[in-house]
Chain A
Amino acid sequence: MAKSSDRLKQANELPGFKAPPVTEVVLGIQFDPLEALTTPHIGEYRRRIAEDYPHLREMAPLQRSSETFEGPYAKQEREFKVSAGLPPLRRCWFLDKDDECMVQLDAEHFCYNWRNDTGKRVYPRYKAVRVEFERLWSDFGEFVRAEKIGEIKVNHWEVTYVNHIDKGEAWTSLDDLDRALRIWPSFLPKAFLPPTEAFQMTLAYAFPEQKGRLRIAARDAIRKSDMQECVLLKMIAKGRIDSPGVTDVLPYLNMGREWIVRAFADVTTEEAQVLWGKE
C-alpha cells in the first residue's frame, strides 16, 4: 500500500508522456500597445536575434483580446483598434533556420512558438520551451528599454498546446473516437443515425478566482502535409494580469501549462495515453 506521502507526491506530479501528440506549443504575452514601436525598431530587433532566428515572415497583427468573466462563459471581448492614419504594425514571425521555433511580435503581443509541423520532431518538453521564452522575453524587455520605446505593461498571458491525434492511433473512425477521447459521447444511438461524418466541439473551464480560462477545441481534420486524418485538439489557457508592473510572467504561464497538461490527461483515454508513452 502506498504511503500517504507517495500518494500526495503522485497527486502533485503532472502527467508526462514520452511521445505526446503535441504539434505546437505557444507561450504568449499581450501588453498595452507600444505606441512608439515602429518599423525601424522591428528591423533593429530582427538584427538583434538574427543569429538564432534568421528568417522573417510578415502576418496580420493579432487582435487584442480580453478574458472576461462577466456574462456567458464563452464570450471573449475583443477590440480591434484601427488608426485612420497609419495602418497597424504587422506581426513579424522570426523563425529559426529549421522553422521549428519562432518569435512573434507585434505592437501588443510577444509569443514564442515551438512547432512540429513535419510531425517528425521530438517535443523538447515545456521546460526547454519556457527557458527559451524566458531568455527572449527578457531580452525583448532590454531592447524596449534600450530603444526608449516605452514601458511594457503586460495585461494577458496565454499558453496553447495543439495536438494531432492521428486516425489509426487509438481510434479508427469517428464512431469509436471514445477510445481516444473521453469527451466523445460513446452512447450515441445508432438505431437510425448513419456513421458520423464530422464533429466539432468546444469546452471551456474557468480557473478558480477568475485567474484564467481553459478552452478545449476538438474537431476532425486532415493534415495537409501527409494527408493523414486526425483529431485536432487545441487547448488554450489564457488569463488577465491585472496587477500593474508585473514583470515575472512565468508563474502565469506555468499555471496555464499545468491546467493544459492535467486537462489533457482528463480528456484523453488510458488506452491512448499508453500509446503516447505515459510515464
Chain B
Amino acid sequence: MHSALLEQLGADTSEFGFVVKCTDEDEYADSDLGEGQAEEARPTTDDAATNAGCVVPFPTNLRESIEVLKEIACYGENWDSYGSCPIEEDVLCTAKELLFSLEPAMPSPTVVPVSGGGIQLEWQVDGRELEIEFHPDSTIEFLKVNEDETMEEGEIPAGDSVHLSHLLKWLSADQRTCETN
C-alpha cells in the first residue's frame, strides 16, 4: 500500500527512560496542531481528539500543487480524450500524503495527471530533477536527473520508505549542504 509506505516516512518512535515534570507555556506546542509535537514522546490528554491529524496547517508554499490536485480529483472518464479512467482514489490519497509530509523548505512540485489513473510529481531544483509517479497498481517509479544530466530510474519497492526519503533529501538543499560539508 502506498499509504503504509508514506506513514513510515513520518513514523515516530517513543522512548522512555525518566520521570520528567514540565509545564506547557503554549497549548499548541503539545497538541497535534503544534510544531513541538516531535519533541514529545507521548501525546497529552489534549490529543484524546483523534482526528486532529486529519487536518494540517495550510502549507502556503504548496497552494498551487494543491489546487492542481483538487482539479485532477474531479477528472471523469476520458479526461485525456484517449479513454483514460479517472485518477484512482488510492493514488490521490498517496499523492496528498506525500505533499503534506514534505518538509516546509521543499519546493512545490508540479502535479501531472497520468493516463491510466496515475499521478506524477515533478521537481526541478538547482539543476536536479526528480519525478515520482504513483500508479494505480500501487507501484511507485522514479526518475532522477543529476546536475551532470546523468539519469537514474527505477521502482521504489513497496514499503521502502527509506528510498523515497533519500530521493527527497537528495533533491533538497539541506542534503546538498550535508554532502558538501
Which residues of A are interface residues toward B (Cβ below 8 A)? Answer: 23-24, 26, 28, 30, 59-65, 71-72, 74-84, 87-88, 93, 102, 104, 109, 111, 113, 115-117, 156, 158, 160, 162, 164, 197-198, 200, 202, 204, 215, 217, 219-225, 227, 229-230, 232, 234, 236, 238
Cβ contacts B48-65/A at 8 Å (1 or 0 each):
111110111111100000
Q: Is the CB of A78 within 8 A of B48?
A: no
Determine the main DSSP class of B at the interface with A: mixed
Q: Is the CB of B33 within 8 A of A63?
A: no
Q: Is the CB of A75 within 8 A of B45?
A: no
Q: Is the CB of B44 within 8 A of A224?
A: no
Determine the main DSSP class of A at the interface with B: strand
Q: Kindly list chain A residues whose C-beta atoms are within 8 Å of the C-beta of B100.
A: 222, 224
Q: Is the CB of A76 within 8 A of B55?
A: no
In the assembled complex, the CB of A21 is this many whole angstroms from the nearest CB of chain B, namely: 12
A71–B25 Cα distance when bound, in Å, is 11
**Which of B14, B20, B50, B55 touches A164 (beta carbons < 8 Å)?**
B55
**Which of A82, A160, A232 touches B18 (beta carbons < 8 Å)?**
A82
Q: Residue B38 at the A interface, CB < 8 A?
A: no
Inter-chain pairs besides A24-B49, A117-B54, 18 sampled, C-beta below 8 Å = A26-B49, A60-B14, A60-B41, A63-B43, A64-B45, A65-B46, A75-B25, A78-B21, A78-B30, A80-B19, A162-B49, A202-B27, A219-B28, A220-B58, A221-B55, A224-B55, A225-B54, A234-B49
In the assembled complex, the CB of B109 is this many whole angstroms from the nearest CB of chain A, namely: 15
Central interface residue in A111, A160, A198, by most chain B CB within 10 Å = A160
Given contacts A74-B27, A232-B33, contact A65 B41 (CB under 8 A): no
